[in-house]
Amino acid sequence: MVKENNRRHIPAFGVSGCGKTRAVIELLSQHWGFYFNADDDDWGSGDMMTLYGTVRDYLKEIQAGTAAVDLEVNNLSARKATLLLFLSRLLVFKYCLRVPGSNETFNSARWTLLQVCPHVLFDDLFNPLFLKLPNLRHHHVLDILTIVRNVYEDAKDGLIDRGCLPKIKDDTRLLVINDEAQFLGG
């Protein structure tokens, strides 16, 4: 599915309980990527719910102060918060790649497990870092985007250079899975 599809987005639809989450976790175990889950009852990181709360609180604050809703400003705020969420994941990922010996011990399956069940191994590593990054939201969105791109490319180069399994090439895309995204709709 991943190798044969050059589309940017691959939606996965199905009824509750049909195995969508299991399928994407298996996919991430075999391909490098990032897993986000918006279900509040999920075992994963609380960072997606923190993102949801941050955007919701911002919108309440803005709506209380003005009569008109500025969709462009709202979208910009949500985009910045989402970029910071991804940056927090990238920073943890980059750190894991830099651990001595990680080219022999760190693989896509372990990275997936760390994202899907961080509480099993440690405390939630991702949410506390994400909570420290909102101070950056006052920067211009292009500055934040540049930081995210640079960290992404650096992490991807680290994967290529260190030969962590599964091996990737320069043109390989890392996956981003947004599971249970329907919960973000309100």
pLDDT tens string 92-104: 999 999 999 888 8
pTM of the model: 0.86
Q: Which regions of 12-165 does DSSP assign to beta strands (E)?
A: 33-37
Distance CA 151, CA 87 (A): 8
Is there a domain that residue 13 lies in?
no
Is there a domain that residue 115 lies in?
yes
* 37's tokens: 């889950």
pLDDT recorded at residue 88: 96
Residue 141 belongs to what domain range?
20-185
Is there a domain that residue 133 lies in?
yes
Comparison of pLDDT for 121 and 38, the residue scoring more? 38
DSSP secondary structure letter of residue 177: E
Is there a domain that residue 129 lies in?
yes
Q: At what angle do helices 71-98 and 141-162 cross, to 10 degrees?
A: 20
Q: Which residues have a Cβ under 8 Å from the Cβ of 174 and sit 6 or more positions away?
A: 32, 33, 34, 152, 156, 168
pLDDT recorded at residue 186: 62
Distance CA 177, CA 28 (A): 9
Distance CA 150, CA 90 (A): 10
Is there a domain that residue 98 lies in?
yes
In one-letter notation, the amino acid at residue 11 is: P
pLDDT recorded at residue 28: 93
The total of structural domains in the chain comes to 1
Q: How many CA atoms lie within 13 A of 79 on its CB side?
A: 13
Q: Residue 133 pLDDT > 60, yes or no?
A: yes
